[in-house]
Structure 1
Amino acid sequence: MSSSEDFFLEYQGLLLPRETHCAESLNFAQEFTFKDDDVVAVTYPKSGTTWMQEILPLVLNGGDLTPVHTVVNWDRVPWLEETRLAKIVDKLTSPRALVTHFPYSFMPPSFHTSKAKVINVIRNPKDVLVSSYYFHQMANFLEDPGSFDEFMDKFLEGRVLFGKWTDHVKSWRCAELGDRIFFITYEEMAQDLPTSIRRISDFLCCSLSEDVIHKIAKHCSFESMKANTMSNFSLVPKEYMDSDKSPFLRKGVTGDWKNHFSSEQLVRFTSVINKELEEENFSLPWSLD
């Protein structure tokens, strides 16, 4: 019988998957040297990470599709905290794009002394919960999530990957980074991807034409990414991710939580999340109701 310790590594109070994290990778992350022109996309798990791994290289290189057709997404925009970074960091060319699930306080010293820019993507936590639930079902390196109700309890208590959603969101929203940080929601990107890409482009001081903006948006549609073997995680062996249980890129929509929450679960979920946010007068860009 497997226990949680078989799947998770505890790091400063956070649960991380052992399959992709170890003491050495976490030490490498803390000693990582950020450059001034680095860009890091910050997300809580299942909040648009893969989307940003597709968008960022295209924005930074003027819409050239070559990298997203020839390099797997976890190598073209690697995770700061995962074991893979140490193996491919020397192959990254500037401006480098990275992603991280770290809360703000976990970022390495060099990040704070650099001018590296941050794009923080936030997603409705109810949809995050649903996406995480299906991910746990198909990811064999994670423990079985149990019932949806049981997994909701774990999520609300922070007994999931990278801790409480509220703690993560607040840590970055309250970060004093001035014009180094840009906030956008998954919902904004889903509603109008070209406009979202234009805003990201402007933040990164990339001068892109409208034709290039729409070219990037077309390539970064859910349908296009789902068909791209460099982006859909289909190259990951089935022993790690079983797409027969649930595809990695499952729906890519907003509001899917309405198909999963009972009325009682909705009241319980929103009550806990709202209480934790209200404790620090923190407001969301949309209503949880």
Structure 2
Amino acid sequence: MDRLTESRAQWDKDEENISEISENVSGEYFRYKGIPFPVGIYSPESISIAENADVEDDDIFIITYPKSGTNWMIEILSLILRDGDPSWTRSVPIWRRAPWCETILSAFSLSDLSSPRLMSSHLPIQLFTKAFFNSKAKVIYMSRNPRDVVVSLYHYSKIAGQLKDPGTPDQFLQNFLQGEVQFGSWFDHIKGWIRMQGKENFLFITYEELQQDLHGSVQRICQFLGRPLDSEALSSVVVHSAFNAMKANAMSNFTLLPPSLLDQRRGAFLRKGVCGDWKNHFTVAQSEAFDRVYREQMRGLPTFPWDVAPEDSSPDSDPSPSPGQASEPPNP
């Protein structure tokens, strides 16, 4: 079977699987060991499979809390693993390049992943694949200012068929601070994974660091993976993983998904790609409420870039409405 025929066959299978999943999403959640998961995309069985799967020593895992730059990191690693060649990112959907560990269509069930396997996960550390912790496999944990995560997750919840309606901005913020959103508490998630700091197979990096110095961040990732790139390949990774490049790439912008899973008529999946946008959304009261919980939850932890670094808070050309303000649905 030639590569084109094989690609078409795989895409036909993907379309069939996506159609089946889209029929089962309900906007309802179930709990697995106390953590909320959306029905239809995940199941208790699929999470258990991820917990107990085998791991290869050359596996590379991208781990994030939702809306923390997962797809940006997938794009970067897709390019690094191909020495800067963008052909893979332009021909294979992003969810096939780095499939999810805990979904019903689990990465661990796919037999055609090339080595090294690139896989994604939102799982908190206590639910992650046990075999990883006794392996040489690598984890890149990417985090982001939780205030920007709240805003991004709020908008995403309006277009994602598997997620509950976010309700009012105030209610959604309270749910987020209480961990009553998919994958539970942001605070518990980062506090769990940050304990891996210092281990040679674990890299902690932030969305803000990539925004501030993408070139230097890509070099750091290459060093961690033991895959140095020459200057031309490195520049190609930077150019082709830029926000506008991803937004224009049908293999990376999720426009291939049906509206029942992701209704981009109501808002773009790749929305802004900036740091500090929360300042255009939070009211003073919301910011104060968030800061109270943040200070309490993060006491004793190291300082993160969003705690000290100035952020790009300038509104872009098409700012989304602030929480609490009436608006028309944003254009894709």
User: Shorter-chain-normalised TM-score: which range?
Assistant: over 0.9
Q: Which residue of 1 aligns with 2:246?
A: 225
Shift of 1:253: 0.5
1:94-173, aligned counterparts within 5 Å? 94-173=115-194
29-38 or 125-134, which deviates more: 29-38
- What runs of 5+ residues in structure 2 fail to find an aligned partner? 1-25, 309-332
Shift of 1:178: 1.1
- What runs of 5+ residues in structure 1 fail to find an aligned partner? none
Deviations 1:183-235 (A, max 9, x none): 11101101121111111001000020111111011100110101111110101
Matched, 1:20 2:41: yes
Shift of 1:88: 5.9
Q: How many residues align?
A: 284
Q: Name the CA distance, whole Å, in 1 between partners of 2:108 and 2:179.
A: 31
Aligned mate of 1:234, from 255, 259, 268? 255
Aligned mate of 2:232, from 211, 221, 224? 211
Q: Which residue of 1 aligns with 2:61?
A: 40
* Percent of residue pairs bearing the same amino acid type: 41
Q: Name the CA distance, whole Å, in 2 between partners of 1:87 and 1:179.
A: 24
Q: Name the CA distance, whole Å, in 2 between partners of 1:109 and 1:49.
A: 21
Q: Which residue of 1 aligns with 2:12?
A: none
Do the aligned partners of 2:50 and 2:108 also contact (CA within 8 Å) in 1?
A: no
2:302 alignment partner AA: S
Do the aligned partners of 2:208 and 2:305 also contact (CA within 8 Å) in 1?
A: no
Shift of 1:125: 0.3
Report the 3-state secondary structure (helix = DSSP H, G, I; strand = E; otherwise coil) of the residue aligned with 2:120.
strand
Do the aligned partners of 1:140 and 1:242 also contact (CA within 8 Å) in 2?
A: yes
Do the aligned partners of 1:9 and 1:21 also contact (CA within 8 Å) in 2?
A: no
Shift of 1:26: 1.4
Shift of 1:260: 0.5
Report the 3-state secondary structure (helix = DSSP H, G, I; strand = E; otherwise coil) of the residue aligned with 2:106.
helix
2:41 alignment partner AA: T
Q: Name the CA distance, whole Å, in 2 between partners of 1:287 and 1:52.
A: 19
Do the aligned partners of 2:208 and 2:306 also contact (CA within 8 Å) in 1?
A: no
Pair 6,192 (structure 1): closer, same or farther in 2 beyond 3 Å: closer
Q: Which residue of 1 aligns with 2:305?
A: 286
Q: Name the CA distance, whole Å, in 2 between partners of 1:77 and 1:284.
A: 30
Q: Name the CA distance, whole Å, in 2 between partners of 1:215 and 1:46.
A: 25
Higher radius of gyration, 1 or 2? 2
Aligned mate of 1:52, from 69, 73, 86? 73
Do the aligned partners of 2:53 and 2:108 also contact (CA within 8 Å) in 1?
A: no
Deviations 1:223-271 (A, max 9, x none): 0101111110101101221112111000011010001011111111011
1:286 alignment partner AA: P
